[in-house]
Structure 1
Amino acid sequence: MMKKLWLLLLLCSWVSFAYAWPDWVINPKASAGEIAAVGIGNTPAEAKQNALADMTLQLTANVVVQQSQSLHANNGNSQSSFTQNSQVSSLALSFQGVEQRRTVEQAEQIAIELVANKQIIAKQITAEIYHLLAEQPQTTANCFAAALRLNRARINTLNSVLTVLEYPTQTPAINHALQQQQQCLALYRVRLIGAREVQDIAAAAMAHLPELGTTEVWFKPQLRWATAKQNGQVMQRATFRFDFTESAAPYRSLLAGQLQVISHASDETTARNNAKQRLIELLRQPVSEWLHVDVENNR
């Protein structure tokens, strides 16, 4: 009996040893100036995706990761490079230059370690901040469109990532741009004009639009529907077009765009109501968040 127990313990010890991950998988460590992340999956693609998600989580939270892979040859050796697109709420970050350092396979699973240079990521983020601030609004009669486009939530989040990377932030330039934005919007008063159905949807946007200035701007929305049947369900596509125009001659368009929502349901009424609700949810966000957004709702 004791011999069998000893053999069982020996077997369990051997199995545990055989399937133990190396230390770099359990406790990933990065060199100075790098971010290191490890992902485990049933396939290499799954492991890489999990590693990229872990890498992004080191900078922020609530991340959904999308990844693309390309292969190239260097001196006869095949190498991998990855581009990561991470969605943080409404914030999309693109990190390039991610390299694969190590890989190991255990118990039909694969672990992959990815590393990225903090400085490269920080420079990419800084460049995007500069791009977003390039058209910062000025307190003139032509600042309306630029002020609405300026996405303060995205800019501030990007700036916070620079802090995590221990890289110089752009806080002074950002504060100046946001101050200019507020000064510009204070000049305007937006008035909603349109049919009742469209007004009920567009009213969600009014909370983020200026209403105390002396220069009136018309917010003119339009709504178009397209219906089709797919796999026994009704598809409703709502195209919400909008135009901010001057309220006096020459009635120039200051800013225009559209949102498109697709909803599926068992009947046309439900599909249409779902699409309307999704539009309202989008329009409750700041204008810079929903300009030129295409959203598909499959529920």
Structure 2
Amino acid sequence: MREPRVVLLTGTSGQVGFELQRSLQGLGTVVALDRHRLDLRDPQQIRDVVRAMQPVLIVNPAAYTAVDAAESDVADATRLNVDAPRVFAEEAKRVGAALVHYSTDYVFDGTKPEAYVESDPTDPRNVYGKTKLAGEQAIAATGCNHLILRTSWVYGTRGKNFLLTMLRLGAERDELSVVADQIGAPTWANTIASLTSQVLAQSVAGNDDETRDWWRRHSGTYHLSAGGETSWHGFAEAIFELAGEARRPLVKPIPASSYPTPAARPANSRMSNDKLAASFGVRAPDWREALRLCLAGR
């Protein structure tokens, strides 16, 4: 085993990256880099950083996540969601590291009536989903040891997300209209980080040979989202119910057709976590329980 074990973490200014800085402690020396210290639009800088640090593990939650903006900013979305993951994967293969990368429910078209499993055909409906899928494929094509973790409807107490938007608008307005015919599982950034660290702890539990065997057996794509399901409308109602704010707006359900956006969204974003549970013995809590814990910690 290399000494010291270096874990390279990107995207630390984002929701998941911020939480990972804490949850990954104990797996090695975590070197956390935000966009000011590592420009993911610069492939050569990525290569130089990985070769200099010689990490045993690269964890990459960084991404272009502005779904609507991506429709008119294809080049930048491609640089961050396709090119950067590919270079990380190539360099991971070169230095003998493993790569953990995060993807999205938006790789599916949302027409399946049940929860999606990892082997279901992908067919993204927007540029964001297309670039995230291309990033997945680029990683797998390198043959590096990797985990691709698809998640959904990510929120937390920092950054830009649905939870913070609802709390802000709820303090300003008496009535909100929220889409009720798109179904998924709101997933707390802390849940993603915690389960990631629990999975990765299993990879380093043995000697070097056992670690290599672990990655050989487990490399692949997994779904990691909260348990249960709801609509955006149901999520909003739960936010105001559990937040305990003195002022609570009326939340009206509307169809997605009444709230047109540049990027099409899948109607069904539900994903089965059974493969994750079977492979690693971990399962995310129900979305409502996680939301309660998140709001309690504000």
Q: Select the structure that is richer in helix.
A: 2
The TM-score by the shorter chain falls in which range? Answer: under 0.3
Q: Which has the larger radius of gyration?
A: 1
TM-score, with length taken from structure 2: 0.24
More strand as a share of residues = 1
Q: What is the TM-score when the length of structure 1 is the normalising length?
A: 0.23
